[in-house]
């Protein structure tokens, strides 16, 4: 598909490398909604022309997308998009229902609501005294009936205790906190990782064993800066993307490496 | 470990649920550097006390962290932290070398530098005319000698062509673009996903089959808003976290759902 930089013979690149390349651009088109669920992708021959690739390479790239669960290959029909992913914003702090309100109802299966003695590391993050109680909430969250995430939440006791009687099945914790406290949340520190699902988490999320998960740790503060909500959220990787916009710091600075 | 919300009998939760809970907090302590590589985690009995959990639960949680490659269990020594992950910021647009400069040298194995006809979807993102050339760069990026990411990059021809002769092995593309263009980059639109590695990507990254990867699509603009750099980056999930800070929008607004 390419001339080398030197303008010489066709680059001899492995087919798997070329297939990844085609798959990545097609994946982005699916995720952006350019090819929505139910739509047929262009025919193999057309994709081969677009990407200056062989039909074998195109077939291999479609197999990669099929293995990710994004498309299905239907004899005589072609390649159908069968799934998109929900887009979760990285630039604003929103609860899941707020984020996905156009995609249908978020339903939470509440697996636990208990008062616990906060483990020391949790107490430290929430700036609680050692041995202080915390409210622990565990929810399996479904959108469109399918599991999207498993959320483990520790709440500062004054914020969490009034939530125990609330409708946690149909409401975001964020909204409930703001209602109960009568003040808005401020910001949140997040850490994102990709991890393979352990067998039990995979089973709870109805995902294949070792399925790739997005693991989000999120420490949310009230608008006065006090941390009140520490969460560990496992999103099914095949059902969600995170998107945002990053800005280049200190424009014009000289790079500090050779 | 817990009283139920109703203050009644101990909650009868499955051990796997409790093990996940302990593992998540320990993982966060490892990632934050509280337990750096080489350090020994507290003994099982101590962790059991801290988390009000049984030793079996603690053992199962340590097994989860071992399966993720974060700790090793050494007979008579205990549980040693063997790996941390590099922290990649989500609030500022930085190249990998800029981001990780304190963690040692980023070394790029340049797998391809070629001029290609931009596939239509790529041309569209980079606002190039249909059939326009683009410069394609593929790099396997190593930190501390180990593969961290596989980066596929399409550059607008005027920006990419001068880079062909540059030292791509030792420099971030961002830095080279700014040097070559004589102007700073502006911002970037990113999309993050967790995906399981296809066999070939896993082999290139020296990761286990189906290993969880963080897949980052990033479209970077010059400071005048023109998109010049479209990348598809596969990070090994066991070697990198993304972290940032999110802010709650429009404080005080009333939640718009019931």
Nearest CB to B241; choose among A87, A120, A191: A191
CA distance A186 to B45: 38
Please report the pLDDT score of residue A13 as a whole number: 63
Please report the pLDDT score of residue A12 as a whole number: 42
Q: Residue B1 pLDDT > 80, yes or no? A: no
For chain B, the average pLDDT equals 88
Take residue A137 and report the two structure tokens written for it: 């909430």
Q: Residue A253 pLDDT > 80, yes or no? A: no
Chain B residues 120-149 within an 8 A CB cutoff of chain A = 120-122, 125, 136, 138
DSSP structure class, residue B10: B
Please report the pLDDT score of residue B111 as a whole number: 95
Beta carbons within 10 angstroms of residue A247's beta carbon: 12
Nearest CB to B251; choose among A97, A98, A223: A223
- B187 in contact with chain A, both atoms CB, cutoff 8 A: yes
Are B86 and B147 within 8 A, CB to CB? no
Whether complex ipTM tops 0.95: no
Chain B residues 5-44 within an 8 A CB cutoff of chain A = 5, 7, 11, 13-14, 16-17, 19-22, 24-26, 28-29, 31, 34
Q: Residue B214 pLDDT > 70, yes or no? A: yes
Q: Which residues of A touch B209 (CB under 8 A)?
A: none
Cα-Cα-Cα-Cα dihedral sign, residues B183, B189, B192, B195: negative
Q: Residue A8 pLDDT > 60, yes or no? A: no
Nearest CB to A31; choose among B112, B191, B253: B191
Place B252 in a pLDDT band, splitting at 50, 70 and 90.
very low
Please report the pLDDT score of residue A257 as a whole number: 32
Are B155 and B135 within 8 A, CB to CB? yes
Nearest CB to A24; choose among B152, B171, B212: B152
Please report the pLDDT score of residue B26 as a whole number: 95
Are A44 and A58 within 8 A, CB to CB? yes
Which run of H or of E encompasses A138? strand A133-143
Please report the pLDDT score of residue B8 as a whole number: 36
Take residue B129 and report the two structure tokens written for it: 């005319």
Residue A102 Cα, gap to closest chain B Cα (Å): 11
- The residue among A160 and B103 whose pLDDT is bigger is A160
For chain A, the average pLDDT equals 88
- A94 in contact with chain B, both atoms CB, cutoff 8 A: yes
Please report the pLDDT score of residue B14 as a whole number: 85
Please report the pLDDT score of residue A83 as a whole number: 84
Domains in chain A: ranges and CATH: 15-81 (1.10.10.10), 86-243 (3.40.1410.10)
How close are the terminal C-alpha atoms of chain B, in Å? 33
Q: CA nearest B65 in A: which residue?
A: A198
- A195 in contact with chain B, both atoms CB, cutoff 8 A: yes
Phi/psi of residue B130, each to 5°?
A: -55, 135
Tell me which residue has tokens 């980052």: B216
CA distance B136 to B29: 40
Q: Residue A14 pLDDT > 90, yes or no? A: no
Average pLDDT over residues B245-253: 71
- The residue among B149 and B253 whose pLDDT is bigger is B149
User: Do the Cβ atoms of A213 and B232 come within 8 Å?
Assistant: no
Q: Measured between alpha carbons, how far is residue A209 from residues A206, A213, A247, B60 in Å?
A: 9, 11, 37, 17
């Amino acid at each position: 598909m390419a001339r080398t930089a030197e303008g010489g013979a066709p680059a001899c690149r492995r087919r798997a490398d070329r297939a990844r390349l085609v798959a990545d651009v097609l994946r982005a088109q699916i995720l952006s909604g350019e090819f929505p669920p139910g739509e047929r992708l262009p025919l193999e021959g057309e994709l081969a022309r677009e990407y200056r690739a062989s039909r074998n390479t195109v077939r291999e790239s479609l197999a990669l997308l099929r293995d990710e669960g994004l498309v299905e290959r239907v004899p005589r029909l072609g390649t159908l998009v069968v799934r998109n992913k929900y887009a979760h914003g990285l630039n604003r702090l929103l609860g899941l229902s707020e984020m996905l309100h156009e995609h249908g109802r978020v339903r939470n299966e509440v697996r636990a609501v208990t008062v616990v003695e906060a483990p020391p590391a949790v107490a430290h993050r929430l700036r609680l005294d050692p041995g202080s109680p915390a409210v622990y909430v565990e929810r399996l969250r479904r959108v469109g009936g399918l599991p999207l995430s498993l959320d483990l939440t520790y709440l500062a006791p004054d914020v969490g205790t009034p939530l125990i009687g609330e409708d946690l099945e149909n409401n975001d914790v964020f909204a409930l906190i703001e209602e109960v406290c009568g003040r808005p949340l401020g910001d949140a520190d997040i850490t994102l990782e990709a991890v393979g699902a352990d067998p039990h988490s995979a089973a709870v999320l109805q995902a294949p064993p070792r399925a790739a998960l997005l693991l989000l740790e999120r420490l949310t503060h009230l608008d006065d800066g006090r941390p009140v909500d520490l969460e560990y959220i496992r999103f099914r990787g095949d059902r969600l993307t995170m998107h945002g916009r990053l800005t280049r710091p200190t424009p014009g600075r000289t790079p500090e490496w050779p």
